[in-house]
Structure 1
Amino acid sequence: MNRYSIAASTLVVAALCTAGPALARDQIKVVGSSTVFPYSQAAAEEFGKKTGQKPPVVESTGTGGGMKIFCQGIGEQNPDLTGASRAMKKSEWELCTKNGVTDVTEIQIGYDGLSIAQSKKGTPMDLTEAQIFLALAAEVPDGDKLVPNPYKKWSDVDKSLPDVAILAYGPPPTSGTRDAFVELTMHDGCKALDYFKTKKGEMEKADFDKLIGEKCTPMRQDGPFVEAGENDNLIVQRIDADPNALGIFGYSFLYENQDKLQGVKIEGITPTFETIADGSYPIARPMFFYVKNAHRNVIPGLTDFVVEYTSDEAMGEGGYLQERGLVVLAPEPLKEMQDRAKNAEKMSAPTS
């Protein structure tokens, strides 16, 4: 253990002692992504069964919300792990560092597909990323300018699409799912349109990237896109009740609700374990969790919980996380992540 880790652990011990024996925390605290939540919850349940210790408390706060809480500091009042449906940002790392959270291990647990789902009672849809952008963006091209989105029905976007009102339930801006959806779907769909193709040919790369960030990121706020909070189960309920509505969430929620929902094809590809793993499904992303190493060997059971979470039985082929919808890592990167977790390898500062 290096001197920074020793100093950080000392601060944790001090915080626990200050709280007094009766108040010292005897349960692991996990926050973060709503998509990673069911995996963390499953690992927590298995840990409790195998060890007889209290299962970790797992809270769904969204990726951004989890990072903010995780980076508030060390000590028993702060969580030990956070789940994330994207990698930690440079700004989040800086917040952690500012608050003394300087020794963190980053673990990729597998992959997830960003599913757009609909009720099985609805007419099956096959959408391009450009069509999705035109349906859900705050502004869309009209000739040589951008205008507030005028499209009310899917058939307004493309005559081949159903003549029904556009209604999509999705995550809020604090969600890693929202970040990934914007980057992987909205930005790609935006760049596929002639207006932005022309701009790309006319502008410097930095200016074009800025244009994409400013004009292709905002979701419309006039009704067709509804922010449904961090509760993905609520989105499932809403689209199950409305055959014309769509929902945006991680593949695990589609997988767990196959009796009620069907995946919308994207660019002709259905979201499945196979299409997400082989990269043919266009909107897939990695899943992570982050461990506060200063809390290891201080918060009871934390080191053992990290071992359980990264075990073959959990993260490996046929493991209980795959049973819940996780697309698992190949054997070599899985071993790399297991070693990283076991050795409490300190992550490098993100560059963006």
Structure 2
Amino acid sequence: MGRLRNLLIGLTLAAGLSAAGAAPAQAQLGAAMRDRLVVITSESSTAITRMLTLSFTERFAGVTEPLVRHLPSSAAMELFCAGIGPQTPDLTIVVRRMPRTMLETCQSNGVRDVVELRLGLGAVVLAVRRGEATPNLTARQVWEALAAERVNDEEFVVNRRSLWSDIAPNLPRNEIRLIMPARGNGTTGLFEDMILEGGCRDVKAVRLLFDAAYRRGKCITLREDGRVRVLDGVEIPAALLASPPGTIGLLSYDQLLASGGNLIALSVDGVLPTQASIFAQDYIATRTVYLYAKRQHTRLREGIGVVRGVREFLNEATSEGAAGPGGYLGVTGLVPLGPAERAEQRRIAERLTLISR
């Protein structure tokens, strides 16, 4: 709670409101208007958020550039759901869908009118530097290389394998090294869910574990012997370029594209992450980028509300010029949804249709 309070106070001050006058929120919806949107973005959707806020500011005359803050996906949703009023965010852009439990937290804090939009598709990739070996890995091999424990004669033992060739003879004799973001980052979350759990689910010793939480722990708990290095997500591309040969980095598809060809993606389970494989969701670690907005913050005709621009921002985010084929969000690695899905998202944005689940 202390961390959340500090974040709310920081947003209040950055948005030009007094901390003392920021609560209670609901009593101030008409009186304490903000002149700029506040957007919380997950670290993995930073590039998308930056492009959207710049385009939104340029498109609408007299608009103050939105205030953007970067947090891990779970923290971004937590802050979004902290309440309503000028001291709380208007929008959040994340790379995982809001869980039902978080939506219930929103509602219990007064955030009842939530709009959910799907902006497009992205992916988590394993990458190496250009010119290095690009092994065709399976999710099972990735888990066997990185898990804290491996299976030996149906028993779990400490994982001491040091080379990729220890996992399978066709893999290079490179040291097992991975650079990845910390827990709470959307990239790490998808890596755990799709690649690590996907790689261990068919292991007999894992299947025999009855307790689901214990089973998941065996799948996603990584070794702590120095072979897995944790960094801030935005630092990973540069760190990978400066790392010893054979090091693999875990990053988002947009970070891969932004490297200008200096980083090369590895295939997982025989599928290389490309626009086509991500759109078809053939690539195992594909994800959807979501935008959440508070309809309660929208300024209505009567002048009541927290801030102007919520509806306009949603319309911009779902426009063909942004999220369609050839749209400017393509340079961030966002893969467009299909035509019918894009049309549906535009209708939700125009009508501010509330989430229903």
| TM-score normalised by L of structure 1 | 0.87
Gaps of 5+ in 2: 1-23, 300-304
- Residues 1:250 and 2:258 aligned together: no
Q: Which residue of 1 aligns with 2:28?
A: 14
Task: Give the Å deviation of 1:251.
Answer: 0.7
**Within 5 A, what are the aligned runs for 1:165-244?**
165-196=175-206, 199=208, 207=210, 209-229=212-232, 231-232=233-234, 234-242=235-243, 243-244=245-246
Decide whether the 8 Å contact of 2:25 with 2:87 is kept in 1.
no
State the SS of the aligned residue for 2:220: coil
Task: Give the Å deviation of 1:57.
Answer: 2.1
Q: Which residue of 1 aligns with 2:302?
A: none
Deviations 1:51-70 (A, max 9, x none): 13122122221211101111
Percent sequence identity is: 29
Q: d(CA) in 2 for partners of 1:107 and 1:209?
A: 31
Q: d(CA) in 1 for partners of 2:204 and 2:35?
A: 58
**Within 5 A, what are the aligned runs for 1:313-328?**
313-328=321-336
Q: d(CA) in 1 for partners of 2:106 and 2:225?
A: 36
Letter in 2 for 1:179: G
Going from structure 1 to structure 2, the CA distance change for 1:16 and 1:240 (only over 3 Å counts) comes to farther
Decide whether the 8 Å contact of 2:256 with 2:263 is kept in 1.
yes
Q: d(CA) in 2 for partners of 1:134 and 1:153?
A: 11
* Higher deviation after alignment, 325-334 or 335-344: 335-344
Decide whether the 8 Å contact of 2:127 with 2:264 is kept in 1.
yes
Task: Give the Å deviation of 1:336.
Answer: 0.8
State the SS of the aligned residue for 2:292: strand
Aligned partner of 1:308 among 316, 319, 328: 316
Aligned partner of 2:93 among 62, 83, 99: 83
State the SS of the aligned residue for 1:69: helix
Q: Which residue of 2 aligns with 1:4?
A: none
Letter in 1 for 2:280: D
Q: d(CA) in 2 for partners of 1:343 and 1:14?
A: 25
Q: Which residue of 2 aligns with 1:107?
A: 117
Decide whether the 8 Å contact of 1:32 with 1:65 is kept in 2.
no
Q: Which residue of 2 aligns with 1:27?
A: 36
Q: d(CA) in 1 for partners of 2:45 and 2:107?
A: 24
Q: Which has the higher contact order (CA 8 A, sep 6+)?
A: 1
State the SS of the aligned residue for 1:300: coil
Q: Which residue of 2 aligns with 1:3?
A: none
- Residues 1:41 and 2:50 aligned together: yes
**Within 5 A, what are the aligned runs for 1:251-290?**
251-290=253-292
Decide whether the 8 Å contact of 1:104 with 1:346 is kept in 2.
yes
Task: Give the Å deviation of 1:281.
Answer: 1.6
Q: Which residue of 2 aligns with 1:50?
A: 59
Deviations 1:19-39 (A, max 9, x none): 5xxxx5311111132222211
Letter in 2 for 1:127: L
Letter in 2 for 1:14: Q
Q: Which residue of 1 aligns with 2:18?
A: none
Task: Give the Å deviation of 1:146.
Answer: 1.1
- Residues 1:126 and 2:131 aligned together: no
- Residues 1:339 and 2:342 aligned together: no
Task: Give the Å deviation of 1:331.
Answer: 0.5
Deviations 1:166-220 (A, max 9, x none): 11111222112222111110011002334335x2xxx7xxx36444323212222
Q: d(CA) in 1 for partners of 2:81 and 2:195?
A: 29
State the SS of the aligned residue for 1:108: strand
Letter in 1 for 2:230: E
Going from structure 1 to structure 2, the CA distance change for 1:127 and 1:16 (only over 3 Å counts) comes to farther
Q: d(CA) in 1 for partners of 2:242 and 2:134?
A: 16
| TM-score normalised by L of structure 2 | 0.86
Letter in 1 for 2:109: N
Coordinate RMSD, CA, aligned? 1.9
Going from structure 1 to structure 2, the CA distance change for 1:76 and 1:156 (only over 3 Å counts) comes to same
State the SS of the aligned residue for 1:161: coil
Letter in 2 for 1:68: E
Q: d(CA) in 2 for partners of 1:142 and 1:33?
A: 39
Task: Give the Å deviation of 1:16.
Answer: 6.6
Q: d(CA) in 1 for partners of 2:316 and 2:26?
A: 23
Going from structure 1 to structure 2, the CA distance change for 1:84 and 1:32 (only over 3 Å counts) comes to same
Letter in 2 for 1:236: P
Q: d(CA) in 2 for partners of 1:211 and 1:65?
A: 24
Gaps of 5+ in 1: 1-9
